[in-house]
């Protein structure tokens, strides 16, 4: 008569709420594979809880522990268990889910057995604890252990765990792609790609596709249309035609890299392309069900799973925020193997995939060259930002706010959309309250991102009474606007003393040409980091080109100084970059400087027109003085106040602007006061010229 399972072992099985199959494998791990050598110590068990689960509670709770007797009892319990449970089925829904998964992915019976063991090892605490008793295993011993446990030939187990096995290619098991130690725990060696997978396979009652909810999901429809992507029209057209053929031919290894600052609509662009091709779009998971970020390795396994499960569908994939994946491949100790694995994925993926990145600086050139298309998605130009803003605001936003929001180069579509959505929920009626709410939201976002806030007035605006007649230029400016309309590609240099109206005239030109104005100052472009100033210069020209804007670079002598006087190599490279950008710019570029004598000789040859802006003539001074008196409501009937200005030859439009700003908070009582203030401004300039150099004794 065979020995029956002792009563306390039956009770243990019920109390542990574990499955019969896990207990069967646990006994095998202890006895057939030698786990008892670690488990049963000289003075006690290595794991008391596991001992209770295996029916050895007597030796845990009693005072008379005997290692020899404990091992004997373990063997008796294993024999009794085998008699009582000759068949050990999969628990819960695991058998049905494994079978459905096998049909979906064309898994062999051996692969299903290996996967079933891995699921329970990572889901059932008894089997997990029992597996740990084997300690650190080499790869070959691990294969041998699986062969014994699953009743499979060793060669078949080796095939199931090979790099080309369907379990690995489908992203179900993560055997690692980089350096592995020579030995490790079996649970580490046979890790699942995602911690949610074991629970889903064991308990899920959904369809086979729902088993991969952890890996990918159907992307929601996009909200932007073709009209919002006019700035990337050509690459968009190329991508649509290329992907249409790739889908029709079932071509492998099709990848498109989309990059650009956060919030510029990269995800929306992938959704629009998918819709235009009448294709489903699936997003590969970046986070788990709790919202925690996934490791790069887990995300790549999820990408593999999506390719394996969806390969028969007309579908596209999108993988967002890929920086961490490629940073791991660049800086990880096992980077060579990691790079090779990523390159292989790029070459073999079954479905076309969009790879989205906020920055490509960390992506190795070896990876970039494997993308079929690389598309930059910059912040849309001003006209498109304004259209998007008016669409989002449904006509409820003030014109001044719309102008400020759309003119700010760092306000991206995502920031615009979110601010308008929140603002309209807080202040639903159009007016100052709604505009103020949206401005507050956007300003807070810009500040957190390290960008300048929205202006509270028109920084590029001109006085209502501005006229180019108050420019004292050495060349006639009449007809310049018509000439620039006929020949929009031009490089102009405005030079002369400060305040003579160089920048204001550039603004007037942009206004007359009906083009946006992009003003860049030294502080906007200079960086303490090597090479960054050159990058900022290139970015300013590129951005102006995209916006079809007039680019006005103030204090250009900082970037075009005479290279013969340079002391540092970066001073030369900055000038070289500036000259290169000027040469290739196809719009209107205006450079202003107070120090034309300091400019590099080569730069002077590149300007199509060089205009000197001088001090106001006496007639211009009197005309501008009269215009300011009119605005301020002051009278000078005998022109006595104006006569005081006739002998002053250093007046500029900038002096009038400075005095006008002062008058806002300390109004002038008479024309004489206004004239005195202007003369005081001139005396300050004269004092600056006479300021002594060195120490004053």
Strand runs (DSSP E) across 507-655, as ranges?
517-520, 550-553, 588-593, 609-614
Confidence of residue 328 (pLDDT cuts 50, 70, 90): low
Tell me which of 172-186, 486-500, 674-688 is least confident: 172-186
- Beta-carbon contacts of residue 22 (< 8 Å; ≥ 6 apart): 91, 120, 124, 126, 127, 130
Nearest alpha-carbon partner for 219 in 169, 171, 293, 269: 269
Average pLDDT, the chain: 84
Mean pLDDT score, 103-130: 92
Per residue in 349-366, pLDDT (tens digit) is 899 999 999 888 878 888
- pLDDT value at residue 2: 36
Complete DSSP assignment for 152-179: --HHHHHHHTSTTSHHHHTTSEE--SS-
Averaged over 272-281, what is the pLDDT?
95
Encode pLDDT of 212-259 as tens digits. 888 899 999 988 888 888 889 999 999 999 999 999 999 999 999 999
User: pLDDT tier at 288 (50, 70, 90 boundaries)?
Assistant: confident
Q: Is 673 helix (H, G, I), strand (E, B) or coil?
A: helix
Token pair 């998964």 in the structure block, residue: 101
Q: What is the pLDDT of residue 34?
A: 92
What is the mean pLDDT of the segment spanning 441-467? Answer: 75
Residue 562 confidence (pLDDT) above 90: no
The tokens of 689 are what?
């010229």
Tell me the C-alpha distance between 73 and 31, whole Å.
12
Report the alpha-carbon distance of residue 496 to residue 596 in Å, rounded.
8
Identify the CA nearest to 131 among candidates 20, 22, 249, 18.
22
Helix axes 139-150, 109-121, angle to 10 degrees: 100
Is a pLDDT exceeding 50 seen at residue 536?
yes
What is the pLDDT, as a whole number, of residue 252? 92
Mention every residue, 6+ apart, whose C-beta is less than 8 A from residue 339.
Answer: 329, 364, 366, 367
Residue 4 has pLDDT above 70, yes or no: no
User: Residue 16 in contact with residue 53, Cβ under 8 Å?
Assistant: yes
- Residue 534 above 80 pLDDT? yes
- Answer yes or no: are the C-beta atoms of 174 and 192 closer than 8 Å: yes
Question: DSSP string of 376-445?
Answer: E-PPPPHHHHHHHHHHHHTT-S-HHHHHHHHH-TT--HHHHHHHHHHHHHH--SSSHHHHHHHHHHHHHH
The pLDDT of residue 156 is 93
Of the candidate ranges 44-53, 148-157, 177-186, the one whose mean pLDDT is the lowest: 177-186
As a dihedral over the C-alpha atoms of residue 399, residue 400, residue 402, residue 406, rounded to 10 degrees, the angle is 140
Q: pTM value?
A: 0.72
337 has pLDDT over 70: no
């Amino acid at each position: 008569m065979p020995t029956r399972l002792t009563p306390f072992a039956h009770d243990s099985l019920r109390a542990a709420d574990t499955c019969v199959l896990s207990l069967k494998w646990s006994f095998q791990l202890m006895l057939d594979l030698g786990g008892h050598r670690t488990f049963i110590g000289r003075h006690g068990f290595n794991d008391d809880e596991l001992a209770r689960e295996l029916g050895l509670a007597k030796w845990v709770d009693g005072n008379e522990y005997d290692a020899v007797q404990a091992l004997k009892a373990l063997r008796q319990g294993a024999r009794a268990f085998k008699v009582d449970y000759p068949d050990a089925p999969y628990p819960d829904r695991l058998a049905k889910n494994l079978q459905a998964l096998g049909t979906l992915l064309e898994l062999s019976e051996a692969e299903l057995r290996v996967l079933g063991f891995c699921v329970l090892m990572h889901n059932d605490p008894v089997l997990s604890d029992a597996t740990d008793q084997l300690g650190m295993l080499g790869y070959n011993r691990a294969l041998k252990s699986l062969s014994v446990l699953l009743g499979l030939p060793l060669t078949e187990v080796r095939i199931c765990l090979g790099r080309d096995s369907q379990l690995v290619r489908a992203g179900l098991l993560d055997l690692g792609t980089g350096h592995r130690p020579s030995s490790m725990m079996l649970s580490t060696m046979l890790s699942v790609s995602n911690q949610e997978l074991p629970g889903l396979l064991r308990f899920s009652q959904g369809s086979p596709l729902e088993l991969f909810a952890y890996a990918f999901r159907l992307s929601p429809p996009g909200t932007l249309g073709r009209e919002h992507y006019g700035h990337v029209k050509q690459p968009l057209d190329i991508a649509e035609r290329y992907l249409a053929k790739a889908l029709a031919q079932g071509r492998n290894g099709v990848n498109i890299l989309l990059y650009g600052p956060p919030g510029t609509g990269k995800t929306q662009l992938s959704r629009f392309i998918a819709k235009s091709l009448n294709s489903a779009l699936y997003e590969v998971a970046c986070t788990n069900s709790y919202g925690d970020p996934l490791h790069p390795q887990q995300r790549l396994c999820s990408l593999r799973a999506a390719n394996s499960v969806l390969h028969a569908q007309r579908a596209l994939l999108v993988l967002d925020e890929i920086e961490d994946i490629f940073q791991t491949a660049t800086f990880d100790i096992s980077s060579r193997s990691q790079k090779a694995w990523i390159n292989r994925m790029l070459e073999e993926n079954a479905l076309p995939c969009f790879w989205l990145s906020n920055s490509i600086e960390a992506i190795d050139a070896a990876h970039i060259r494997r993308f079929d298309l690389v598309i930059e998605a910059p912040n849309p130009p001003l006209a498109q930002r304004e259209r998007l803003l008016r669409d989002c605001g449904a006509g409820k936003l003030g014109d001044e706010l719309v102008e400020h929001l759309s003119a700010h180069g760092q306000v991206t579509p995502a920031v615009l959309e979110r601010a308008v959505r929140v603002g309209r929920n807080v202040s639903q009626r159009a007016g100052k309250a709604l505009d103020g709410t949206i401005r507050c939201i956007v300003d807070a976002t810009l500040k957190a991102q390290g960008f300048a806030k929205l202006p509270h007035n028109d920084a590029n605006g001109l006085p209502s009474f501005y006229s180019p007649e108050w420019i004292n230029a050495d060349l006639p400016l009449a007809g310049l606007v018509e000439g620039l309309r006929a020949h929009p590609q031009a490089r102009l240099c405005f030079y002369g003393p400060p305040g003579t109206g160089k920048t204001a005239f550039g603004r007037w030109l942009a206004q007359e040409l009906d083009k946006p104005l992009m003003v860049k100052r030294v502080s906007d472009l200079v960086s303490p980091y090597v090479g960054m100033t050159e990058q900022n210069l290139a970015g300013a020209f590129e951005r102006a080109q995209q916006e079809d804007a007039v680019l006005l670079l103030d204090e250009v002598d900082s970037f075009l100084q005479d290279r013969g006087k340079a002391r540092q190599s970066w001073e030369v490279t900055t000038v070289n970059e500036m000259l290169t950008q000027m040469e290739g710019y196809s719009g209107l570029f205006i450079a202003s400087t107070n120090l034309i004598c300091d400019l590099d000789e080569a730069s002077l040859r590149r300007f199509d027109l060089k205009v000197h802006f001088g001090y106001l003539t006496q007639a211009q001074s009197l005309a501008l003085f009269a215009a300011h008196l009119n605005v301020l409501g002051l009278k000078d009937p005998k022109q006595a106040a104006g006569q005081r200005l006739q002998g002053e030859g250093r007046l500029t439009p900038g002096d009038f602007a400075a005095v006008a700003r002062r008058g806002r908070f300390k109004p002038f009582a008479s024309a004489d006061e206004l004239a005195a203030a202007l003369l005081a401004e001139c005396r300050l300039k004269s004092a600056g010229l006479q300021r002594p150099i060195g120490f004053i004794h």
